[in-house]
Structure 1
Amino acid sequence: MTRRVLYLIACAAGPTQYVDAGIRQAQRAGWDTCLVLTPSAARWWEPRLPELVELTGHPVRSHYKLPTEPDVLPSADAMLIAPLSCTSLNKWAAGIADTLAIGLVSEGVHLGVPVVAMPCFNQAQAAQPAVPRSVQTLRAQGVRVLLGPDGYEPRPPKQGDPAAYPWDRAVAALPALP
């Protein structure tokens, strides 16, 4: 039986330091997990990227490929963008796909791929007027945005705990495997 493929897409937010925990959580749930990082998040993991390649069994992507290069990842059956930074949330909702990470989910949701997003930003960032508009825009497109009691709840600045990011909630929100 072929396992279904999940693209775990992580932005440069504190919990990305622990994205390996999110990968393991998805793998325990039965997903063949491919990792895509924003360019900034890839810089955080640069010295340890081989560790993530070994864990997933796939190359870790962070940039668009050249037109002459082959696709190195299998097609996604679902996408989870977690942690989703405030910047990437607002760019995605505005249709700005200037990174592979945002390009994949921007296109995927309109190709019928189930997309779940769990943000991670503080209360000051969440207070920006663009944030609720962006969440509403993505939800209207069919994205399941986990913001609030059933997902991620923003905390005061400098009071978050990146190691306690609720990867289990994010993975549990994915479509059920057959």
Structure 2
Amino acid sequence: MNDNGAPVLYAIVTGSPAARDIGKLVDLAQADGWDVCVIASPDGRRFIDTEALTAKTGHVVRSQYKEPDAPDVLPPADAMIVAPTTCNSLAKWAAGISDTLPLGLLVEAVGKGLPVVAVPFSNRAQLGFPAIQDAMRDLSEWGVTVLVGDDVYEQHEPGTGANHIHRFPWALAWRSLLDHPRLARPE
């Protein structure tokens, strides 16, 4: 919870062109009374307007680890949505690799038992790679809601991702977090 008692969502984006629409998720969460902090991988940062997101959320967009003695400028997260996430990030996350701030936060979130939703945006061939399938299965077993597959949105063929960004399921990601079994509900 933030200082005003609102739950805090970390909206995490990685290096996918679908990240440009993260403001849609911010709007959904804010409409439900959540305080939202956007965190981007270094590659994810290329696709977003950090100044507009800072203005919209009231929080700086972070993409790097802070200095060891520096205070944290963001309130602690009550939940996280990583959307879009790349196959690279999924594989590293499942392996416990924390070489970027988003991955470090996601690895820690699983260890803390926080509610986390992950929505990959990649092509059918990459998502079908055995190690990526294993990573998504492992993350699911560890309590992460992984939204992927043609029943979520049609998986695109290699080289056609730009034609499918409009199908990215922002509202489903948000609803899935609100339905997450680990989400603390007020009594």
TM-score of the superposition, structure 2-length normalised? 0.88
Aligned-residue offset at 1:159: 2.9
Query: Does the CA contact (< 8 Å) of 2:153 and 2:167 recur in 1?
Result: no
Identity level (%): 43
* Structure 2 counterpart of 1:16: 19
User: Which consecutive aligned stretches of 4+ in structure 1 deviate over 3 angstroms post-superposition?
Assistant: 149-153, 175-178
Choose which of 22, 32, 37 in structure 2 pairs with 1:34.
37
Q: How many residues align?
A: 176
CA distance in 2, matches of 1:152, 1:141: 23
**Superposition pairs of residues 1-178 of structure 1, within 5 angstroms:** 2-45=5-48, 48-149=49-150, 151-160=152-161, 161-175=164-178, 178=186
5+ long unaligned stretches in structure 1: none
Give the partner amino acid of 1:39: P
User: How far does residue 2 in structure 1 lie from its aligned partner after superposition?
Assistant: 2.0
Counterpart of 1:103, as a letter, is G
Cα deviation, 1:92-139, whole Å, max 9, x if unaligned, reads 111111000011010012112111111111011112111110011111
Letter in 2 for 1:26: A
| One-letter amino acid of the structure 2 residue matched with residue 33 of structure 1 | V
User: What is residue 182 of structure 2 aligned with on the other side?
Assistant: none
Q: Tell me, what secondary structure is at the counterpart of 1:76? A: coil
CA contact under 8 A between 1:10 and 1:41: conserved in structure 2?
A: yes
Q: Supply the distance in 2 between the matched residues of 1:153 and 1:37 (Cα, whole angstroms).
A: 25
CA-atom RMSD in angstroms:
1.6
Deviations 1:60-106 (A, max 9, x none): 10011110111010011101111011100011111111000011010
Distance 1:131 1:44, change over 3 A: same
Question: How big is the shift at 1:140?
Answer: 1.6
- The alpha-carbon distance between structure 1 residues 170 and 77, as it changes in their structure 2 partners (threshold 3 A), is same
Q: Which runs of 5+ in 2 are unaligned?
A: 180-184
* SS of equivalent to 2:12: strand
Structure 1 residues 122-167: Cα deviation after superposition (integer angstroms, max 9, x where no partner):
0111121111100111112111111125534421123332133110
Distance (Å, rounded) in 1 between the aligned partners of 2:37 and 2:151:
25
| Alignment check: 8 A CA contact 1:118 1:152 kept | no
How far, CA to CA, are the matches of 1:59 and 1:130 in structure 2? 34
Say which structure, 1 or 2, has more relative contact order (CA 8 Å, 6+ apart).
1
Letter in 2 for 1:172: R
